[in-house]
Structure 1
Amino acid sequence: RSRAEAWFQKHYPEIAEFRARLYDREVYAQYRQGSVLLYRHDTWHRGTPLRPGFVRLAHNLTFRKAEASWISTLHPGWAWAMYKPDQRMERLIAQATPEQRSVLGFPAPGDPYWDSDKINAVEARYGALGFDAAPYRQQLSWTGRN
């Protein structure tokens, strides 16, 4: 923090002054291991220093109403960095409930987005990691799109 603030003070003193006032209003989020923190993009945020040997996962997504399908929910950069060889984010997505996945931008079971081909494709990608396609197929069976 001090290095970043010194840089702002040197290069952009007016921004440094603004940021200093923000620290006075800072509120810490309490969490325990395995917690997920969702915040709005207009929230000023930062993480505390990370201890050696620990990992903090960050996955930057845009949340939107389901009918706003033209808005991309995936940001290049940080989001792509999470797809490491250990597949930690892919495993998280695969093992999430349909409700949890819908928060991450997956259409919910029964959404008009789904058809057999799309369910098969998602199952091919995530099935080996624990993805259960049954809720999506069950909803599809009564829509006539199977």
Structure 2
Amino acid sequence: MLPRTYESQNCSIARALEIIGDRWTMLVIRSAFEGVRRFDDYQDGLGIARNVLTDRLTRLCDEGLMRRVRYQERPERYEYRLTRKGVELWPTMMTLMFWGDRHYAPEGPPLVIAHRGCDGALTDHLTCDSCGAQLGPRDVEPRPGPGAQAEPPRAQAIT
């Protein structure tokens, strides 16, 4: 049985899992790539318990993947934005999405990632299938795919 932490392992994958290796953390990061910035929007969109979300956002900020930015003074309110370190997870997130589409999306991908420049689709090589350009997170936009549900079910909060 694996220990709860991997700090004793000399392995970059294990060390990365210490930070991003739980599902809520990955879903928070996914939401950030979708443009979510505010606590309540994360909470509503994910159906995550407030205490769990607070913990994940704090950890992501402490680790330098996100930063808190005040957008209102009275009362104080903050947005959570990906840092450069967080944005560097984009290829990993896209690779995981493509893998999930291949193995767990029998009706087709629920989401397709379109190139803003020419409307082509992102390939698993992170290029545009139409113009061949190398793409990054600022070059694309998500759109409903053939496996999208008309109205997604609301997630249930799990602690």
TM normalised by structure 2 equals: 0.26
- Greater share of strand residues, 1 or 2? 2
Which is higher, the Rg of structure 1 or of structure 2? 1
With CA pairs under 8 Å and 6+ residues apart, which has the higher RCO, 1 or 2?
2
